[in-house]
Chain A
Amino acid sequence: MPGRLSAHLRRLESEAIHIMREVVAEFRKPVMLYSIGKDSTAMLHVAQKAFFPAVPPFPLLHVDTTWKFREMIAFRDDAAKRAGMELIVHVNQDGVRRGISPVASGSSVHTQVMKTEGLRQALDQHGFDAAFGGARRDEEKSRAKERVFSHRSEAHAWDPRNQRPELWHLYNTRIRQGESMRVFPLSNWTEFDVWDYIQAEDIPVVPLYFAKERPVVRRDGALIMVDDERLPLKSGETPEMRRVRFRTLGCYPLTGAVDSDADTLDAVLAEMRDSTTSERQGRLIDSDEAGSMEKKKREGYF
């Protein structure tokens, strides 16, 4: 019952619902980016409430890099089915033909081709004029300054110097033909809020977030899970079984696990209260150089 949510979460949920309804009322063809992680999962849950008793009037889109954890893919298909929503899975076939992979091409080329370009292809191919993303402002410095309604040019580019001021809850949704909007309903949520919401609403999440014995190798200081046979082991590397979990989920060769015993939501929340590292620490793609996220975003990364 709604009484379960604290005033703080209720306010965040209402704000997210307001943003989603605004998009549905103003845009011709919206889509919700569904990346399978906890933020996307919370966002999808809010969407089901926003349009209740209707099913959310837009499809889900997953840009599959083909390197996601196997458990993520299984969870994705279930989640879409439970929500009764259409799921569009897009793979950058050109990237596949070129043999792009995080192992062979390195993290930044892989991300650029399979995620950023893949996303642009999918948006263009279906003619979506608004796309929801689960990004939060507390994730990263350049995110902190992004608008809730973030305008993109015809080439999907983001211009951080030319953002529309966003006052009150009055969102300027006007775009020209060919332009689009990225919309972030969870902008004002923190990582903690997301977990708290998942707990309060009892929302299923990918089991990878909970501690379990998993085969991992230590690489550049990170624990990388050997999710399938495609991960070439370097000399001296032997997978060992460790009790680990993930704070953030991406392509498995690019996502570091943390040692943990937290195998329930309560334990995960308790662990987070004591945590001294940020969730993006597990993301190898951000540490290339300072400002790397901003560069990616300008080029069309979510």
Chain B
Amino acid sequence: MSGDANHFALPTLRFLTCGSVDDGKSTLIGRLLYEQKSIFDDQMSALERDSKKHGTVGDDIDFALLVDGLEAEREQGITIDVAYRYFSTKKRAFVVADTPGHEQFTRNMATGASNADLAILLVDARKGLLPQTRRHAFIVSLLGIRDVVLAVNKIDLVGHDPHVFSSIVKDFETFAERLNFRSVTPIPVSARYGDNLSEPSQAMPWYTGPTLVGFLETVEVRDRRADGPFRLPVQWVNRPNLDFRGYAGTVAGGRVSPGDEVAVSASGRTTRVLRVIASGHDVEAAEAGDAVTLTLADEIDIARGDLLADPKARPPVADQFAAHVIWMSEERLLPGRSYLMKIAEKLVPVTVTDLKHRIDINSLEHNAAKTLGLNEIGFCNFATSAPIAFDPYGKNRDTGAFILIDRATNATAAAGLVDFALRRATNIHLQDLAVTKAARAALKHQKPAILWFTGLSGAGKSTVANVVETKLHARGVHTVMLDGDNVRHGLNKDLGFTDADRVENIRRVGEVAKLMVEAGTVALCSFISPFAAERRMVRELVEPGEFVEVFVDAPIESCIARDPKGLYKRALAGEIRNFTGIDQPYERPEHAEVVLAAGEATPEALADQVIAALEERGIIQRF
């Protein structure tokens, strides 16, 4: 434990190391920790033991083993995750994010970069720039890191040759012209032997620049957020008693003092700050990075997720915007599917309305794409279900960054960076309608609803739906039928059966069904609709209670046996691809309002179950 982080002139430097596999990242960090005496005797003896067992450098100490923490990666000899390391020199404290070089783990590199001030890009002197180096440089640039060190490692293995070094530097500078770096500092190093890490290398008299540690100790990467306009995403409302109502959160931009005017972004209302509480005390001022609690002069409606801002420099408020996304999930991005977006403290349903292009991170070219897979980067238009306040990521990382969460698995599916609003929400006014849904329904003496029949092909959805509609019609209920096959002959005849097209198919049908509900009718929809996410999307288009999910649950064997359209036969023969139940999954509904055990009862009996459920829910009158 050298150094005392609390008396340094410069703030703690957070940096990440990245580069291709075997470029020596872990060795570099292990060596830095070793040289800065951040490795204790007991850790050192554990390292010597481990080096004999797992090491890859003969009898020498394998510094990489210090940082390759988890058992699995030690056995495979790779780093599979982000590891955070802490060390300090006499001048400065450091937090290092060690990130993996394998392509499939690019998401972890973006994770490490998201909180870093600076990046060290490692290049193996023998190999020069690799595709992976370019990818990482691009991600680092995309995530807003402006200063990079190009560490040309293993320089000892090319005889400390200055020409090898300068040619790699030239290659990188040419590539980096298209990126958004403020500074690139090239340093030739040998992580294994410590050349140019803390001490200038005797073997490279031709190199007169700083050592790596010397550079890191002095580089200034000022956090400019405090200079920007005031931003406070409200995280939690503190109401211990009737006399105190405080809005707690971490200042994301600018400064705040008692007496300042602030605006609530969503409503536009303004008020004045009474007290600023930080670290458990009243303070005169707080700035970006401080966790605070504010009390305000007026009682106005403010909740978690609202953004308090400088009224003279308000953030854009929009429900449609363009953003870059880094896809981090095995499940592909599907335009039209509903995800949860978390931006600042706001959680809101969102869909990708248009995938503009995918970025080839080797050539930086823009390519047309229908979906994004794991580790792919795209540029998309988004639509949120409610307007949100934000800043472009380039202006403020805290109010311009978001994550997407998969609604079925809760996995973090993507990281996003907002570029700009597509149109201001304040400009879109929904047309106020003189005749309401309730008025239209009242004229028909009925309650509108969507009856959503889902299940495998051949389960009997359309058959049961037809009987239900006949029964409803006989009772004088105004109905309309949207059937999967029929819709594909008209409205959706441009769509196929890929995951992306299936999502769009359901989105359109959902919107049509919603219009039918607006018209006061009962819309019966019969669609395989294999994905839970899309069924939920339709459910959320209408009011609670208006969506009735009917799961026609037939075992796949009986569907294959029944095979009314001969489709299973062809799918099993490989003539039809993307067939649900055969080579595409069907996600069973977990909370359907009605579950019909198909195959055991007649369509007539199944339809009666649906009618009974509708009576029970008050959608139709009991006779």
A residues near B, CB below 8 A? 1-2, 5-11, 13-15, 17-18, 21-22, 24-25, 48-55, 137-138, 141-145, 160-161, 163-170, 172, 174-176, 187-188, 190-193, 196, 200, 272-273, 275-278, 280-281, 290-291, 294-295
A272 to B37 CA separation, bound complex (whole angstroms): 12
On whether A191 and B114 interact (CB within 8 A), knowing A277-B42, A290-B46, the answer reads no
On whether A52 and B110 interact (CB within 8 A), knowing A142-B70, A145-B82, the answer reads no
What residues of B have a CB within 8 angstroms of the CB of A273 in the complex? 1-2, 4
What residues of B have a CB within 8 angstroms of the CB of A8 in the complex? 5-6, 8, 11-12, 93
What residues of B have a CB within 8 angstroms of the CB of A161 in the complex? 72, 80
Q: Are A290 and B50 in contact (CB under 8 A)?
A: yes
Give the residue of B5, B11, B114, B281 whose beta carbon is less than 8 angstroms from that of A1: B281
B83 adjacent to chain A (CB < 8 Å): yes
A165 to B37 CA separation, bound complex (whole angstroms): 30
Please classify the interface of chain B as helix (H, G, I), strand (E, B), loop, or mixed, using the class held by over half of its residues.
mixed
The chain B residue with its CB closest to the CB of A269 is B4
Q: Are A53 and B40 in contact (CB under 8 A)?
A: no
Q: Are B290 and A281 in contact (CB under 8 A)?
A: no
Shortest distance from the beta carbon of B217 to any chain A beta carbon, whole Å:
15
Q: Are A53 and B240 in contact (CB under 8 A)?
A: yes
Q: Are B410 and A174 in contact (CB under 8 A)?
A: yes
Q: Are B81 and A163 in contact (CB under 8 A)?
A: yes
On whether A277 and B41 interact (CB within 8 A), knowing A144-B85, A168-B398, A176-B410, the answer reads yes
What residues of B have a CB within 8 angstroms of the CB of A9 in the complex? 6
A201 to B525 CA separation, bound complex (whole angstroms): 64
What residues of A have a CB within 8 angstroms of the CB of B596 in the complex? none
B397 adjacent to chain A (CB < 8 Å): yes
Shortest distance from the beta carbon of A285 to any chain B beta carbon, whole Å:
14
Q: Which of B125-133, B400-408, B458-466 lies at the binding interface?
A: B400-408
Instruction: Fill in one digit per residue for B412-425: 1 if any A CB lies within 8 Å of its CB, else 0.
Output: 10010000000000
The chain B residue with its CB closest to the CB of A25 is B236
Q: Are A172 and B1 in contact (CB under 8 A)?
A: no
On whether A164 and B70 interact (CB within 8 A), knowing A21-B235, A190-B86, A273-B1, the answer reads no
Q: Are B290 and A14 in contact (CB under 8 A)?
A: yes
B618 adjacent to chain A (CB < 8 Å): no
A52 to B297 CA separation, bound complex (whole angstroms): 19
Give the residue of B11, B53, B114, B280 whose beta carbon is less than 8 angstroms from that of A168: B114
Question: Number of contacts between A and B (CB, 8 Å)?
Answer: 183
Report, nearest first, the 4 A-B pairs whose CB atoms are least far apart. Answer: A141-B69, A54-B240, A49-B280, A17-B291
Residue of B74, B86, B244, B402 with highest tally of chain A CB at under 10 A: B86
Residue of A15, A143, A277 with highest tally of chain B CB at under 10 A: A277
A6-B7, A14-B250 known; 8 new pairs, CB 8 Å cut-off, are A2-B280, A52-B293, A54-B238, A172-B412, A273-B1, A280-B42, A294-B69, A295-B71
B500 adjacent to chain A (CB < 8 Å): no
Q: Are B95 and A188 in contact (CB under 8 A)?
A: yes
Shortest distance from the beta carbon of B32 to any chain A beta carbon, whole Å:
14
Shortest distance from the beta carbon of A272 to any chain B beta carbon, whole Å:
5
Residue of A50, A160, A168 with highest tally of chain B CB at under 10 A: A168
Give the residue of A1, A160, A190 whose beta carbon is less than 8 angstroms from that of B72: A160
Shortest distance from the beta carbon of B358 to any chain A beta carbon, whole Å:
20
What residues of B have a CB within 8 angstroms of the CB of A144 in the complex? 67, 69, 83-85
On whether A172 and B280 interact (CB within 8 A), knowing A50-B291, A145-B82, the answer reads no
Q: Are B291 and A160 in contact (CB under 8 A)?
A: no
Q: Are A2 and B342 in contact (CB under 8 A)?
A: no
Q: Are A170 and B401 in contact (CB under 8 A)?
A: yes
B198 adjacent to chain A (CB < 8 Å): no
What residues of A have a CB within 8 angstroms of the CB of B328 in the complex? 165
Q: Are B1 and A272 in contact (CB under 8 A)?
A: yes
Q: Are A276 and B6 in contact (CB under 8 A)?
A: no
Give the residue of A141, A164, A192 whose beta carbon is less than 8 angstroms from that of B411: A164
B279 adjacent to chain A (CB < 8 Å): yes
B120 adjacent to chain A (CB < 8 Å): no
A118 to B291 CA separation, bound complex (whole angstroms): 34
What residues of B have a CB within 8 angstroms of the CB of A165 in the complex? 107-108, 110-111, 328, 412, 415
What residues of A have a CB within 8 angstroms of the CB of B248 in the complex? 21, 50-51
The chain A residue with its CB closest to the CB of B305 is A25
Residue of B81, B115, B246, B281 with highest tally of chain A CB at under 10 A: B81
B283 adjacent to chain A (CB < 8 Å): yes
A24 to B240 CA separation, bound complex (whole angstroms): 14
B43 adjacent to chain A (CB < 8 Å): yes
The chain B residue with its CB closest to the CB of A278 is B40
Q: Are A145 and B397 in contact (CB under 8 A)?
A: no
What residues of B have a CB within 8 angstroms of the CB of A192 in the complex? 1, 4-5
A87 to B398 CA separation, bound complex (whole angstroms): 36
Q: Are A55 and B5 in contact (CB under 8 A)?
A: no
Q: Are A278 and B42 in contact (CB under 8 A)?
A: yes
What residues of A have a CB within 8 angstroms of the CB of B84 in the complex? 137, 144-145, 187-188
B277 adjacent to chain A (CB < 8 Å): yes
A48 to B492 CA separation, bound complex (whole angstroms): 58
What residues of B have a CB within 8 angstroms of the CB of A51 in the complex? 238, 248
What residues of B have a CB within 8 angstroms of the CB of A24 in the complex? 236
Give the residue of B43, B66, B244, B281 whose beta carbon is less than 8 angstroms from that of A2: B281
A17 to B286 CA separation, bound complex (whole angstroms): 15
A170 to B111 CA separation, bound complex (whole angstroms): 11
Q: Are A52 and B280 in contact (CB under 8 A)?
A: yes
Shortest distance from the beta carbon of A198 to any chain B beta carbon, whole Å:
12
Q: Are B244 and A53 in contact (CB under 8 A)?
A: yes
On whether A48 and B280 interact (CB within 8 A), knowing A176-B410, A281-B40, the answer reads yes
What residues of B have a CB within 8 angstroms of the CB of A175 in the complex? 410
What residues of B have a CB within 8 angstroms of the CB of A174 in the complex? 340, 405, 410
What residues of B have a CB within 8 angstroms of the CB of A55 in the complex? 240
Give the residue of A1, A168, A291 whose beta carbon is less than 8 angstroms from that of B397: A168
What residues of A have a CB within 8 angstroms of the CB of B70 in the complex? 141-142, 145, 160, 291, 294
24 interchain pairs, CB-CB under 8 A: A2-B281, A10-B290, A21-B236, A24-B236, A48-B280, A52-B277, A138-B86, A141-B70, A144-B69, A144-B84, A144-B85, A164-B412, A167-B115, A167-B412, A168-B398, A170-B342, A174-B405, A192-B1, A273-B1, A275-B1, A276-B40, A281-B40, A290-B50, A291-B70
